[in-house]
């Protein structure tokens, strides 16, 4: 499998882990020393980010999530790569409160370590936008 195919598989698993609330799959996508940059939050480490992104099963969550993420660009240079991702996330409380929509871009830096690609840095610009 080519590096680009492996990275696309990692991207698919990352999105799948978020949609399904699969914390273990999310952790597999992230290097132990990864740093995430999130608007209004600042820096987050692997565990904090993974729990926020995929911290529970959809059945246990007080919200329904509708995530649409598109891989806009993928570049590989040796053992490093980056992804430009465009996403829209609609969070709908199960109690009937109004939904919230977020949209924006993220730039993820990946590194191939011990034969597999992992996220080492991620800058996310998703913010609340009108429905």
Domain ranges (residues) in the chain = 3-129
Which of the four pLDDT bands, split at 50, 70 and 90, describes residue 92?
confident
- The whole-number average pLDDT for the span 94-98 is 92
CATH topology of domain 3-129: Nuclear Transport Factor 2; Chain: A, (3.10.450)
Decide which of 54 and 98 is more confident.
Answer: 98
Give this prediction's pTM. Answer: 0.86
Distances (CA, A) of 124 to 79, 95, 105, 116: 22, 28, 6, 23
- 69 near 87, Cβ under 8 Å? yes
Average pLDDT on 83-108 reads 94
pLDDT at 23: 86
Closest Cα to residue 55, out of 29, 81, 80, 18? Answer: 18
């Amino acid at each position: 499998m080519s590096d680009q195919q492996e990275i696309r598989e990692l991207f698919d698993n990352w999105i799948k882990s978020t949609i399904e609330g699969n914390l273990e799959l999310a952790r597999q996508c992230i290097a132990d020393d990864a740093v995430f940059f999130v608007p209004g939050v600042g820096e987050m480490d692997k565990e904090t980010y993974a729990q926020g992104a995929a911290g529970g099963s959809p059945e246990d969550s007080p919200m329904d999530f509708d995530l649409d993420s598109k891989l806009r660009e993928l570049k590989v240079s040796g053992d490093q790569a980056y992804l430009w991702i465009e996403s829209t996330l609609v969070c709908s409380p199960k109690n009937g409160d109004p939904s919230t929509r977020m949209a924006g871009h993220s730039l993820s830096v990946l590194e191939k370590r011990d034969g597999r690609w992992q996220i080492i840095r991620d800058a996310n610009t998703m913010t609340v936008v009108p429905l």
